[in-house]
Structures are given as C-alpha cells and as structure tokens.
Structure 1
C-alpha cells in the first residue's frame, strides 16, 4: 500500500506537526505499507488561489502542467491521509485551495449526465486527522457536523472515495487535553492499518 500524507499547518512546532510525526512513525513500522510520501503544503509554498479566465479555463484545470506532480501523487496513493487543524469549523484555506485545484473535473470526477458524476478516484481510502481548540462535540452539536459532511459527502464521496475515517480531536489547547494519549492512538492506528 502506498500512502500520501497531506500536511497543512504553517508551524512545525505545532500539535498538528506532532500528529504528522506519529503518522509517519506508524506508517514506517507497518509491514502493509510499501511507501509513504509527505506533501507539506505550507512547506512548499503551495499556491492555494484558484485562477481562471477566458484563456485559462476552469474546465482545463485537470491538465494544468503546474499541478502534474501533485496529480501523480494522488494517482500513486492507495491511502490519502490529511493532517490539519480545524479553524472556524473547517479545514484551513490552504487545504481548501489545494482541493479546489486538485479535485478537478477530468481528473477526480467525470460528468456522465446523471444526478451525480462518475468518481475517478475509486478504490482509494482516506483518513482525516484534525485537531481543534474547542470541545470534541462542538462540531456535532453546534455546527451540525459541517466539517465531516463537507469532507465525506461534498468531496470524497463525490470523487469515488467511499472508505473515509476521521480522527477529530478537541480540547487540544488545554493542559488536560490528553494530547499524549491521542498521539499514541494515531501511531497505533497507522502502525497496524491494513488497507
């Protein structure tokens, strides 16, 4: 199994970065995983701004040569892992900008005349590891689970990726937030995940 980890946080001393390190430790010790690649969106100064006009059309984004390396990473991966904080109830704008450009028609899905398109990324699985300052049940009771609905239904299901797992950790800025236990949980999961 090939694993692509997409990390989205500007600070390499953050708790999100600590979760990234535990993901990598687990995948590195997992005999089911052949290779792991990391895409650090802030680290490589990924441009999240979606630009198109009469010359550079949105319908041609799937062939934008600037993004071919990133498309190849998504093709290569069997499992895609997103590591990011939840800010204002949703992923960072940097990650949403990556999604806007990478999950384009002609690459991630194809319109087929039906109610929903044909997902072109079938067979891949997804894990989202996210942290937030607020309490764990805040997204469920206050935001109607908007974060998970956005990621699972509006994105992953739309492009054919049906196997999605969430680790959504709250209270992560509190001294008693059990950060160590949650980091260990992520490490154990990725050390043993089979597909």
Structure 2
C-alpha cells in the first residue's frame, strides 16, 4: 500500500518525531509494504509555506492548479494511505498542518461542488491514520472539547473530500514522567509492522 506520512512538528528531538521513527520502523518491517511505497513529508523540514493568499494574481478558483503545490498534489494523489503525525495544541492540530490543509484540499482537486448540500469527494478510496499527542489526559478532548479534534479531522475535512476510513491514535498525558511513552511508541510500531493495509 502506497503510504504518505505527513509529519508536523518543528523539533526532531520531540516525542512526535519518536512516533515518526517508530511508524517508519514498523512499516519497513512489514512484509506487505515495499520501500518504494513509503514517502515522508516533513512540513517544517520542507519549509512548507502554510499561508493562504488570495489577490489579483492568485485567485481562489485557481488553487487546484497552483504551480508551487504540484509536488504535494502528486503526493496526495499517489498515496493510498495517509498517516498524519502531529501534537494537539490548544485542542487542534498545529497551524502548520492546518495551513497545509487550507492550501492542499482545494476545490476541483480534493472535492467538486455539485450544487447540493455536500460536494463530490475526489479523494475517495484512500484511508487516513492520525497519530497525535497532547499534554492533557486522553479523555480531555472528549469530555471538555466535545471531541472537537476528531470531528474536525473526520467530518469537517476527510469525509468532505471522500475519505471515509479514518483511524485515530490519541495519546494523552505525554509530558508526565510516567506517561507510558515507551509503551505507546511500541503500540504504534506493532500496529504498522502487522497492518496489512
């Protein structure tokens, strides 16, 4: 399965980066996955520009053919599975990842308006796995924020563009000395080592 990993954290000594490394280790040891079927996009390392600009030269209706984003469009089209690795800050993904979403999931690329209530999703058939970490307890987004993070990612974004298969690994309490970081890293490693698709 062609797998695109989108990693979003500015620090390569972070726990998020450790999750990236364990994800890659699991994928590389998975007999169902070939080396050439894995791509990693490090948004901070790449210097991705998350700023959305509309003006006389850049029209919103032309976002889906923006020349500077062609490489990233090709990655999304190539991928059968998208893995997002990021921290949860202020109850939502980092601004860098949200900026990537703003620029990449454009009309006539990720979806097409049909004149009805919902558009036609143009990224059908793909799957998404979100791996996120947070300082607060795991139940915090559900009980205090009405599950805003999962609602944002699953319903407001991926369902809108036709992606129905979305899985979450939300790890809370990650800044505690006894946050069971190693156990959770191992869980991710085992998942990707064994996952058939």
Q: Say whether the fold is shared (TM-score over 0.5).
A: yes
- Once residues 153 and 6 of structure 1 are traced to their aligned partners in structure 2, the CA distance between those partners, rounded to angstroms, is 19
SS at match of 2:73: helix
Q: Counterparts of 1:1-20 in structure 2 under 5 Å?
A: 1-20=1-20
Paired residue for 1:116, among 105, 115, 118?
A: 118
Aligned to 1:32: 32
Q: Would you say how many aligned residue pairs link Structure 1 and Structure 2?
A: 195
- Once residues 7 and 194 of structure 2 are traced to their aligned partners in structure 1, the CA distance between those partners, rounded to angstroms, is 21
CA offset at residue 32 of structure 1?
1.9
- Once residues 31 and 115 of structure 2 are traced to their aligned partners in structure 1, the CA distance between those partners, rounded to angstroms, is 42
| TM-superposition CA deviations, 1:73-119 (whole Å, max 9, x none) | 00110100000000000000000000000000010000011110000
Does 2:175 match 1:173?
yes
Q: Counterparts of 1:28-107 in structure 2 under 5 Å?
A: 28-34=28-34, 35-107=37-109
- Once residues 32 and 64 of structure 1 are traced to their aligned partners in structure 2, the CA distance between those partners, rounded to angstroms, is 35
SS at match of 2:11: coil
CA offset at residue 30 of structure 1?
1.1
Structure 1 stretches (4+) deviating beyond 4 angstroms?
A: none
SS at match of 1:71: helix
SS at match of 1:69: helix
CA offset at residue 154 of structure 1?
0.3
SS at match of 2:115: coil
- Give the structure-2-normalised TM-score: 0.98
SS at match of 1:42: helix
CA offset at residue 54 of structure 1?
2.7
| TM-superposition CA deviations, 1:145-169 (whole Å, max 9, x none) | 0000000000000000000000000
Aligned to 2:164: 162
SS at match of 1:143: coil
SS at match of 2:108: coil
- The answer for unaligned runs of 5 or more in structure 1 is none
RMSD value over aligned CA atoms? 0.6
- Once residues 53 and 122 of structure 1 are traced to their aligned partners in structure 2, the CA distance between those partners, rounded to angstroms, is 31
